[in-house]
Every structure is written in structure tokens, then in C-alpha cells.
A and B are shown apart, each in its own frame.
Chain A
Amino acid sequence: MIETDKYMPAGVELKCYHCGEDCDTDDIRIDDKVFCCNGCKTVYEILDQNNLCTYYTLDENPGISQKKEIKRNYDFLDDPQLKEELIDFTDGNTTKVTFSIPQMHCSSCIWILENLFKLNPGIKFSRADFLKKIVTIQYSEKEITLKEVVRLLDSIGYEPDLNLEGKQKEKTNSHNKKLAYKIGIAGFAFGNIMLFSFPEYLHVESFSRDVLKETFGYLNILFALPVFFYSASEYFVSAYKGLKKKIVNIDVPVSLGIIVLFTRSLIEILTNTGVGYLDSMTALVFLLLVGRIFQNKTYDALNFERNYKSYFPIAVTIRKNGKETTKPVGKLKVRDRIIIKNNELVPADSVLINGRGFIDYSFVTGESNPVEKVNGDLIYAGGKQVGGAIEVETIKEVSQSYLTQLWNNEAFSKKYQSNINSMVNVVSKYFTFVILSIATVAGIYWWPESSIAFNAFTAVLIIACPCALALSTPFTLGNSLRIYGKNKFYLKNTDVVEAMSEITDIVFDKTGTLTETGSSTVKFIGEPLTDEEKVLVKTLVRNSSHPLSNGINELFDIDVSGDVKDFKEIPAKGIEAVINGKHVKIGSRMFVNHVQEENKIDLSTRVFLSIDGNTRGYFAIKNSYRENLDEIIKKLKRDYNLYLLSGDNDSEKPELQKIFGENTIMKFRQTPQAKLDFVKSLQQNGKKVLMIGDGLNDAGALKQSDVGISISENANNFSPACDGILESKSFGKLDEFINFAKTSKRIIIASFIISFIYNLVGIYFAVQGTLSPVIAAILMPLSSISVVVFTTFTTNAFAKSKKLL
């Protein structure tokens, strides 16, 4: 920004017509439209030629910035086997394929993605789903290939996120549909049975002898059958599974209640002794299923289950018998020769055999300086080549590599199971036994009169059916999930909220978690540098790997040249060298011009520059820590043990110690495995660990921890497998989020108490054997609905008081 001022008239901001980013110059333009880069201009030209400029009228500057554009190579899509895995189906002529497009963000995006056929007639049909961020495309095999379709999307800025994992999602989709059927049927039956039960509620005199009563009874059974056998089936299955594992989960008393309701109603109606409780039963099932919707609330567009495969390209170029072909990454074998081009990842541990390697391990370790490699050097999987193409030979399979070994850890093979220790299941265990004993006692008490005994026994089980209990958790946690989502904190499921309420220890990653990525915070203070001087500075700092040098290096976008002589790096002081005959010194004030540093006012670090003995000024380098970091750490420190694990070197340790305090354990140069082990050791000491990290290198620790949160600039970006995705803007609310989870837990306990009170009232009637269907029909839905209303209102009220809503 500082440098751009001189190019522009003051006060006028130039925004790219395509993507809305600030333009440095107005050189790149068509007519009166300015673009920030040639990439954006190209996209505009493509759209203009095809008469698709409506794109720009639907939303302002809808495009995706093309500044960081790298030309990707999609040749691997010609591989028939790979294509088979990516497409949905093909009949030889027409092929249907679904792509995930994370960049989709506005109505213009939907429009352009649905008008692809105007760009290429080979595409017959395309349909976007905004929430899931996917586009389904049908194209004609004769006119266009899969590779060309992907290239077309890429050319207009919507690069598909190609990986082979997407297909699992369809399963949850069909599950949701099933739930919708079940609710529809239960709701339908509930409404109709309620209507047929009205004469009974109102005690219509003539009703009891009427033929209508019998008809209504049979109709009610007819309606209740699909509810019992279809809609309620999952509760029976879950209860059975629980009992098999000797766990009395909440579904056990629920199923017991439903079964007793149904059988007793059947007996009463068929023997003409009563009207039964089918209205209560269907209402119960209906409400329970609605609760399940709340519990199943998920973020379709977000992926919490990424494994290492989605980080790697799905295919690589290999050299076989002197020819270049592509091969899916999963089929790579030891001793395959792979060609790695600029900006491509090395998928397996390999040895460099040809070319000059500059490997950027930022993906793996958080350290962003490329490491130079020469022939014969080992390159670990996850490294990214920067520069020309290299040829490597794999020495391990993808799944055995240094990085991917993590995924062989047992933490990853742990299958998802609903947590059996959740509060509701603990409560339900005692609840079930208490209710069963009350029912038995009531039955024994009335024993000589067997009909009353039967009535009392069943009535207790019916009225005590813990519908309200079963609903309180999903509604409270579902609502919390929604509130978190509004604050850009997305959790995988409701279990995470509960796990978060029990946290004792918090582990932070450094790079990307505590520090912000890609924000330039370096400023030169002093007389502006000439281009020649910038070259000198940049040439010098490139020789150093110190983080401050990197910051300065990134400040200037200029080609470096010149020969460096007498380069010296004095730790904790600075660097100096003679470049193009000029003596350049960069470092502390003491080092550069022998004056003691004044007391600093702001947090920024000053790095002084002198050329040939003239002090030119200083670089003010603000630490790139997240805003309010010290504040949030201070708050968290009061209630939790904090730890810091970093893959980076410890150059920032003093700075961090200031923020975290002296006693906080900080570990640097941690491998991904070491991070995982550290979390594990905490857990073995009985701690509940929340880990917050961002990179692939944190993936193991995130998975191992009780709550693994991945922090991201944009939730739709890549993030490792985790329990929650936190947008970096909301980092400052972390303590509020954890506190809110605790509040949610307290609300659940309160709603348990409410539902127990209802149960006591119901049992009072039930043990006397006088539970009339009307009381049941009122009491049961009333208790459920009041609990739902209570939890929803209180969670919202607490969220408002904490300014989360």
C-alpha cells in the first residue's frame, strides 16, 4: 500500500472490475474497466467474448482474484481409471460429473456456473448448489473431455477441488432424506390421530356406544403402524445396539415407552376396553424426530474429514521407460520416477535424482523458507517444489511416508461413535432403573386387581417416557451450534459442544494459529528507498533465514541482482555484506550505528538499515500475531493450562513468553508426531485437551485431542481433519466460545430438572392407575414443547448477553 500511493491520484481507489481488489496501477484496462492483474482481465475477456457480462451486473466485482494464479496441469485427467473415479456416471456419450467449487460465493457465481454451456457447447447442462458449493455438469463426450471441462472452469477462476473423497457425502444425504420421510409420516399420523381422538378428549356422551368409536380406533391403529414400524425404528435399533454393548442409552427408556404405548393401545382398542394412547405415541415419535433434525445440523459446504489424500494431487506425472505418463497417487510404488513441476507437492518420501530442488515445507512444518536440495538428497512427502521441474524417485509408498505415517496412528483409525459418556446417557441409566422399579412397585401394590395393576405398571412406563429428556440435549446443543455458526465457528456436530464444556487444557500451534498468515506488517520509516537501494536490501536479506529478514524480503517486489561478498550474520545483532561494492548493514540500532536502542513505545520491532555508513532509516516490523492475542491469552490463562507447540524454530520465544507468561510450556521444532504424542501424554494424565492449529502438521494432534479446532482465514479453504473450523476473525472470541459450551451444559441440566418435574406429576396419576388418555395427550407433548422452548430461549438469551447473537 505504501508504495502504491504515488501512482494514484489521492483519494481515488481503483477497484478491479473483476474481483474488486485494489489495483496498484490503472495500466491494465479495457475501455473504462480497470483490472488488478492480467488474470482477471483474461477472465473478463473470455466472458465478454461469449456475451456473458451479466456476470458483472448481478453482483459487484464478483470475480475471484487471479493474482496468485498458477497454471495448473490437468493432464492426469486423461487417465481413464482416474476419470472413472471422478465422474458420477457415463453412458459413453453423456457424462455427468460433480465438482466441488470452494470459490463459489455470490449469485454471479451461480449464474456463470449454470451458463457454462454458453462458453462451450459441449457442456449440455450445469447446475450449482450454493450451500454445498458444488456444481453438477453434464457434457457430451464427443465434444469435450473431462480435462477440458476442468480447464474451462479453471480459466474463469473456478478451479474445482479435485479429490476422491466427495462420494462419501452422498450417504449422509440419503440419511437426511430418510429422516424427512419418517418425520412426514409421523407428523401425518400424529395430526390425524389427534383429530380422531377429539371426541374422546371432549367426552362426547354418545360416543362410547357409537360405531364411530370403533372405526376411529381401527383407523388410528392403521395410522400408528407405519409410525411404530418405520418412523420409530431407529430408536429400537439404537436401544438394541446399546443394550448389546451393556450400555443403557437414552433410547432404551424411549423405546420402552413407545413399545408399551403401542401394545397397550392395541390391546385396549382391539378388546374394546379403551381408546388407547396412539395420539401420544405418534406425537412423541414426531417430536423426537424433529429433535434429531436439530442434532443433525451440519455444514454441508465444510469438510471436517479431510485426510492427507486431499492435500496431495490426485495424480502425478511419472516417467516410465523414457515416456511421461500419469498415475493416481494411491498407486504409486517404491522406485517410481516422478516429475514434480513448479508448485507441485511431493506425494511420497523420495530421493532427488534430477534437477535443482527448492523445497518449501511450510505445509508440513510451518517453516516457509524453501530448502535447497541437490541430487541424492531426501525429500519428505508434503514438500512443495518452487522453481523448475525436478525428477525424484520414491523410496516409500505414500501411506508409509514421514508425513502420512501420522495417519497410521491409532487416533485416525478410531471410528466415530456417539460418545457414550454424554450426560444424557449417564442420566438415562439411572432413570431407566428408577422408572422400572416405580412401575414394578405400583404393579405389586395393585396386584390382586390385575387390570389396575397392569394399568398402573404400563402407565408409569408411558408417562415417564423421557421424551423431554431426550429432546433437551439436541435442542440445546443444536441451538448452540447455530449460534457458533453465526460467529463463524463451525463445529462438526453437537457432541463437540459437550466435549468443549469439559476442556481443561488448551494447546496452541504457532504458525498460522497465533500468527496471521500473509499479512505484510513491515514498513520502512525514513526517506523512501530508491530502486537501487531496494535491490541491495533484498539481495542482502535473502541470505538470511531469520524471520525478520523474511519480512523485509517480502516487502519489496523487485528482482535481485548483484554479487554478495563478505556476508556476515551475527546472531541477535544483524547481517552485513558488501553488495555491488556497497557496504550494507541491517540489524539492531546498536549493530548498525552504535547507538543504544531507545525505549520502545509500540510493540513493533525496529530493524535499522545503513548503506556505506549512512543510516537510511529503519524497518518497523509489527509482530504478525493475531489481534488481541495477549488479551485472549490472559483470559484463557485464568481457567486453563496453556501450551504452545510449534514446528518452527524458537526465534520468537521471548516475544511469545511475554504474552503467555514465564510458566507456560513452549516446545519448538516439533514434528507432527511429537505434537500428537504431547497431546496424548496430557490426556493420559486425565486432561481434556483442546488443540487449535491450522496446518497438515497439526492434523495428528487435532485428531488425538478431545476437541481439535482448525483455524482458517476462510472456512471453505483447506483445513485438516478436525472437530471444528474457526474463522480467524473470530479467534478473539475463543474464551467466549468455551464459556458458552459450559453455559449450554448448565442449560441442559436445568431442562433435565424441568422434565423430571413433569414426570413426577405424570407418575402421580399413573401409580393410581387413573392415567386417562387426555392427560397423557396433554402432559407428554406439553413437557416436550416446554423443554424445547425453555432451552431455545435460554441459549439465545445467554448468547445475547455475551454478544454472540
Chain B
Amino acid sequence: MSVILILIGFSLSVAILFLVLYLWAVKSGQYDDKYTPSVRILFDDEIKDDREKDKNGDAEKSANKLNHNSIN
């Protein structure tokens, strides 16, 4: 019977992990805006003009990095 207790312990810790993940997701604001990210994700396939391509590419990468830092 004790094996059931061990298994329950495992399953519970997994369940609690998910609960904590959910609470964290709410806290970090992932449910605040349920629409814009769905649009934003499509922006990455940007058609670039050939001029200034390299320069802009670099600038954007660093800018993106900045964005991510500032969310957290």
C-alpha cells in the first residue's frame, strides 16, 4: 500500500508545480492582454528593404533584447 502513498506524493508535487506555474503566469501579467500577442507574433516575418538591411538588423536585435529585459 505504501507504494500508493509514494505515487501520490509524486503526483501531488507535479500538480502543485502546475499550480505554482499558473499563479506565476497570472502574476507576471501573461493573462492581462489576451489579444495583442497573437498579432505581435506575426510581425517577425518582416519584409526588409535591401538598403540599410544589415545595420537595421543589428539594431533591431539589440532592441529586441532590450524589450525582453524590460518586461521582467
Contacts and interface: CB of A to CB of B under 8 A. Distances in A.
A651 interface: no
A125 B70 contact: yes
Contact of B36 (A110, A173, A192, A212): A110
Nearest to A114: B40
A94 to B, nearest CB: 9
Interface stretch (A151-159, A177-185, A531-539): A177-185
Contacts of B70: 124-125, 138
Contacts of B1: 210-212
Interface string A391-431: 00000000000000000000000000000000000000000
Contact of A131 (B35, B63, B66): B35
A177 B67 contact: no
Interface string A612-648: 0000000000000000000000000000000000000
A111 B35 contact: no
A125 B51 CA distance: 24
Given A131-B34, A212-B4, A184 B42 contact: no
Interface in A141-189: 173, 177, 180-181, 184-185, 188
B12 A131 contact: no
B38 to A, nearest CB: 9
A561 interface: no
Interface in A128-145: 128-132, 138
A111 B43 CA distance: 7
Contacts of A58: 43
Contacts of A131: 33-36
Interface string B40-59: 10110011010110001000
A127 B47 CA distance: 21
A124 B26 contact: no
Contacts, number: 70
B52 A129 contact: no
A604 to B, nearest CB: 44
B33 A132 contact: yes
Contact of A51 (B4, B27, B49): B49
Contacts of B8: 215, 219
A110 B26 contact: no
Nearest to B19: A188
A363 interface: no
B36 A184 contact: no
Nearest to A121: B59
Contacts of A263: none
A188 B15 contact: yes
Interface in B16-46: 18-19, 22-23, 26-27, 31-36, 39-40, 42-43, 46
Interface residues of B, number: 32
Interface in A192-222: 192, 210-212, 215, 219
Contacts of B33: 129-132
Contacts of A177: 26-27, 31
Contacts of A130: 33, 35-36, 39
Given A180-B31, A181-B23, A188-B19, A110 B5 contact: no
Nearest to B67: A125
A188 B67 CA distance: 34
B47 A184 contact: no
B12 A192 contact: yes
A117 interface: yes
A739 interface: no
Contacts of B66: 124-125
Contacts of A51: 49, 51-52, 56
B6 to A, nearest CB: 12
A44 to B, nearest CB: 15
B19 A184 contact: yes
A300 to B, nearest CB: 9
B34 A180 contact: no
A219 B36 CA distance: 41
Contacts of A180: 26, 31
Chain A, interface size: which category?
A: 20 to 34
A406 to B, nearest CB: 35
A138 B32 CA distance: 19
B16 to A, nearest CB: 8
Nearest to A179: B26
Contacts of B51: 51
Nearest to A178: B26
A125 B12 CA distance: 41
Contacts of B12: 192, 219
Contact of B23 (A184, A212, A215): A184
Contacts of B67: 125, 127
A232 B30 CA distance: 24
A143 to B, nearest CB: 14
Contact of B42 (A53, A107, A212): A107
A681 interface: no
A188 B19 CA distance: 7
A54 interface: yes
Nearest to B27: A177
B28 to A, nearest CB: 10
Contacts of B23: 181, 184-185
B39 to A, nearest CB: 5
A4 interface: no
Nearest to A196: B8
Contacts of A129: 32-33, 36
A184 B26 contact: yes
A441 to B, nearest CB: 43
A110 B35 CA distance: 11
A188 B22 CA distance: 10
A748 to B, nearest CB: 29
Contacts of A138: 70
Contacts of A57: 47
A141 B15 CA distance: 46
A51 B27 CA distance: 37
B15 A128 contact: no
Contacts of A215: 5, 8
A173 B35 CA distance: 16
A103 to B, nearest CB: 15
A107 B26 contact: no
A117 B56 CA distance: 12
Contacts of A184: 19, 22-23, 26
Contacts of A125: 63, 66-67, 70
B15 A110 contact: no
A219 to B, nearest CB: 8
Given A173-B32, A188-B15, A215-B5, A110 B40 contact: yes
Given A110-B36, A131-B36, A192-B12, A117 B26 contact: no
Nearest to B63: A117
A111 B19 CA distance: 34
A188 B51 CA distance: 55
A131 B32 CA distance: 10
A211 B1 CA distance: 9
Contacts of A210: 1
Contacts of A54: 46-47
Contacts of B56: 51
Contacts of B19: 184-185, 188
Given A54-B46, A130-B33, A212-B1, 17 more contacts: A51-B56, A110-B40, A110-B43, A114-B43, A124-B66, A125-B70, A129-B32, A129-B33, A129-B36, A130-B35, A131-B36, A180-B31, A184-B23, A188-B15, A188-B19, A191-B15, A212-B5
14 contacts: A51-B49, A54-B46, A107-B42, A110-B39, A124-B66, A125-B67, A127-B67, A128-B36, A130-B33, A131-B33, A177-B31, A181-B23, A212-B5, A215-B5
